[in-house]
Amino acid sequence: MNRQACDALDAADPLASLREQFELPEGVIYLDGNSLGVLPRAAAERVQQVVRDEWGRGLIRSWNSAGWIDLPQRVGDKIGLLIGAAADEVVVADSTSVNLFKVLSAALDLQRADAPQRSVIVSERQNFPTDLYIAESLARERDLELRLVDADEITAQLDDQLAVLMLTHVNYRSGRMHDMAALTRRAHEAGALVVWDLAHSAGAVPVDLNAAEADFAVGCGYKYLNGGPGAPAFAWAHARHTARMDREQMWQPLAGWLGHAAPFEFTSPYRPAPGMARFICGTPPVISMAALECGVDTVLAASPFGGMAALREKSLALTELFIRLVEQRCADQGLTLQTPQEAGLRGSQVSFAREDGGYAIMQALIARGVIGDFRAPDILRFGFTPLYTRFIDVWDAVEHLRQVLESGEWREARFNQRAAVT
Amino acid sequence: MNRQACDALDAADPLASLREQFELPEGVIYLDGNSLGVLPRAAAERVQQVVRDEWGRGLIRSWNSAGWIDLPQRVGDKIGLLIGAAADEVVVADSTSVNLFKVLSAALDLQRADAPQRSVIVSERQNFPTDLYIAESLARERDLELRLVDADEITAQLDDQLAVLMLTHVNYRSGRMHDMAALTRRAHEAGALVVWDLAHSAGAVPVDLNAAEADFAVGCGYKYLNGGPGAPAFAWAHARHTARMDREQMWQPLAGWLGHAAPFEFTSPYRPAPGMARFICGTPPVISMAALECGVDTVLAASPFGGMAALREKSLALTELFIRLVEQRCADQGLTLQTPQEAGLRGSQVSFAREDGGYAIMQALIARGVIGDFRAPDILRFGFTPLYTRFIDVWDAVEHLRQVLESGEWREARFNQRAAVT
């Protein structure tokens, strides 16, 4: 493998043209789409239109005339196409943390009704902290136990005490991917419900929530969905649960007015909207939602080329190449691969641990225009978005990494000054 | 009073130049800034900069280099200047509904610790529904009573059962304003805490939370703060409560990662950030936050002219003129004033009830370019934002209203077709 061969891979890549959807800055190799996706060209135009025309000229009328009121469902339906959800099964609203609070509450409510003796929430010790914090908060309020285990201990926890298994499908640190269908099935056999966080899955790997018969899911708009900084998040529940919530008039706790059955009747008491709409809470941030829609569209643009399956194929090729090149060209540099070599267990990122200097090494890479990120305490993390990442980028990134490590330039003081966000 | 006299009032208005901050569409008299404020010119530019430069070119680096990570506090501090809050006492995050869930939970937690026998939340029957829904949800989960009363019954509820009095400072329907300081004092004398919703107050009327020794407050970014459709909301807590929450390591239930003491250490368990920062939850919608900042700036631009006191003076002059002109020129048209005549009890809006046809009358007005709104079942609502509303607009709006009512044009079928949002 050499740089020319990478060039040839790009020339033969059927997805290559999708890159034209994005505004990629000159001189940057962006391997951080798992933290913040790149700006779609359409988003810049669309946001301006929303601001100048819809807000500026349409004003309050745009809730109807520009369809703002439908945004949570319209964008939700588009995301649904990427995660195996049917129409009306996904809503866009709030943040991932807030949505997790809603769906985990709903799952716990279902178990409280059916099996009140089930008092344990199980999650992964290395799950993204906000997931653990939200679960910890609900466990405190409801006097439940939040039990954190390692990935290989999960199946041992599937017992008659387990209320909800709450997992992130692709781990944010290691990039390791769970088998959603198998774990869901085993959890169901044990009488538990499963909540999946798709933050590093939606737009990154094929997901089929309905085929897996999953119970609840949430996910993030600003990573592989390219929705812009802090883009609203999404929530999904299986139709069997929303149907039951309809029958039994069950709520989710963030019972805001836009999740009401008739929000513009301005009546009390609360009556949850039917189906998934009850998971909407307050008024959505329209400008950020409009940008998110453009981001989701960039992923849907892969549909004529084979959609998520084709993106997955390229993603695996990119991450495999990156792993192979780092192992070849950065050997004996103290990098320990954290991401599974086995394709079926790997998300769309590659992480290496390094005992010391990880933060500074990443800063030195960023100074060279190779943008990945560092996750405390010791993880160098590289995300690969097949929509805009080329094989040549992989080559060049590894070459920069090699030079940073071999030159020792990362030891310079300026790279060791920590910023708040890395 | 005639049109010429209104013109003269505008010519003499020391705040007149503030209107130039806004993009007001041709042919529109906008009396709905209490639902969605007008686009500030600066917002269109700023949003484009955030999208093209900060997101497009800065990418993930902009969390530090463009100060995205500080937005919740930076914009919060600016809002604080308008509501009598000190630096670091206000955070911008999520929606009003979600923030109300946080602060009402916190207030109830404080009472659960101090006076567990207090089991009642009191609010106003005519409070904005989302406030009532959120309180209803918390009351259900915690086995408390939500007691809804009319405004004149509130003081009779201040007893040893009362945990939290939750009120909207200016009522969204009637425009009636509570005496925040007096009610807070009486509630405290009874051992209760008070949560104030400032949705129709922030940027509309002078508010001094610290002078009133209020306990908690939330408010909306997209009304009188001109923050754009669905702009993020804000939350405030008195320093005595956040200090105690610090000492006793108390949480708010939406314990998201950006409310953690050290979010980028990625450690579990949750440790709430000190002070108000614990009320931040997930990643903020940056684009919408940037627009909000421009909106808040339009209100702060009144500072050299006397700030909220000067805006209040003009607001009262506008609403008083509107009331007087409607009573003179639309007499015997079935309009019943819902807003207090007494200036001290009036927010920055005027509402009339009409037994029938209210929706269609508003639609006919909108067709003429006079934009107010209708609130079911019978309220015609007109908001007056002194930053951009002129006395001549008041005259012209009343003239259109008179013509609509006298001509009977509102009876046309097209005005009776209801849209989702009005």
Q: Give the ipTM of the model, two decimals please.
A: 0.97
- What's the order of all strands across the beta sheet hosting A349-353? A336-337, A349-353, A379-383, A373-375
Contacts of A148 in chain B (CB under 8 A): 268
**B298, exposed or middle or buried, with CB in 10 Å at 0-12, 13-18, 19+?**
buried
| Residue B375, beta-bridge partner list | B379
Q: Which residues contact B390 (CB under 8 A, 6 or more apart)?
A: B6, B10, B13, B16, B19
Q: Which residues contact B372 (CB under 8 A, 6 or more apart)?
A: B31, B32, B362, B365, B366, B380, B381, B382, B383, B397
Beta carbons of B420 and A148 less than 8 Å apart? no
Minimal CA separation from B356 to chain A, in Å:
16
Is A222 designated active site? yes
Question: What is the overall mean pLDDT for chain B?
Answer: 97
pLDDT score for A418: 84
pLDDT score for B421: 74
List the catalytic residue out of B101, B222, B384, B391: B222
Cα–Cα dist A234/A77, whole Å:
10
Minimal CA separation from A234 to chain B, in Å:
13
- A11 inside 8 A of chain B by CB: no
Mean pLDDT confidence for B47-53: 98
DSSP string, B46-81: HHHHIIIIIIIIIGGGHHHHT-GGGHHHHHHHHHHH
pLDDT score for B422: 61
Is B270 designated active site? no
Q: A268-303, pLDDT tens digit by residue? A: 899 999 999 999 999 999 999 999 999 999 999 999
Residue of chain B minimizing CA distance to A39: B56
Residue pair B123/B148 in contact (Cβ under 8 Å)? The answer is yes
Instruction: List the 75-104 stretch of B: residues with Cβ below 8 A of A.
Output: 94-98, 101
pLDDT score for B144: 98
Cα–Cα dist A386/A278, whole Å:
34
Mean pLDDT confidence for B387-405: 98
pLDDT score for B63: 96
Beta carbons of A289 and B60 less than 8 Å apart? no
Residue pair A247/A128 in contact (Cβ under 8 Å)? The answer is no
pLDDT score for A422: 60
Cα–Cα dist A12/B199, whole Å:
56
**Candidates B48, B101, B229; nearest CB to A254:** B101
**Candidates B130, B137, B291; nearest CB to A282:** B130
Token pair 């709430």 is found at B272
| C-alpha closest to that of B415 among B336, B358, B350 | B358
Contacts of B269 in chain A (CB under 8 A): 132-133, 136
pLDDT score for A420: 74
Phi then psi for residue B236, to 5 deg, are: -140, 145
Q: B130-184, pLDDT tens digit by residue? A: 999 999 999 999 999 999 999 999 999 999 999 999 999 999 999 999 999 999 9
Phi then psi for residue B353, to 5 deg, are: -95, 150
- B284 inside 8 A of chain A by CB: yes
Determine which of B268, B359, B378 to mutate to test the interface with A (most A C-beta atoms within 10 Å): B268
pLDDT score for A273: 97
pLDDT score for B391: 98
Residue pair A119/A162 in contact (Cβ under 8 Å)? The answer is no
Minimal CA separation from B268 to chain A, in Å:
6
Is B143 designated active site? no
Q: What is the CA A297 to chain-centroid distance, rounded?
A: 16
Beta carbons of A137 and B230 less than 8 Å apart? no
Contacts of A269 in chain B (CB under 8 A): 132-133, 136
Cα–Cα dist A160/A189, whole Å:
10
Contacts of B47 in chain A (CB under 8 A): 47-48, 51, 287
H-helix or E-strand spanning residue B401: helix B391-407
pLDDT score for B417: 86
Determine which of B197, B287, B349, B381 to mutate to test the interface with A (most A C-beta atoms within 10 Å): B287
Q: B243-289, pLDDT tens digit by residue? A: 999 999 999 999 999 999 999 988 989 999 999 999 999 999 999 99
Given a cut of 50, the residues of chain A with pLDDT beneath it are none
pLDDT score for B197: 98
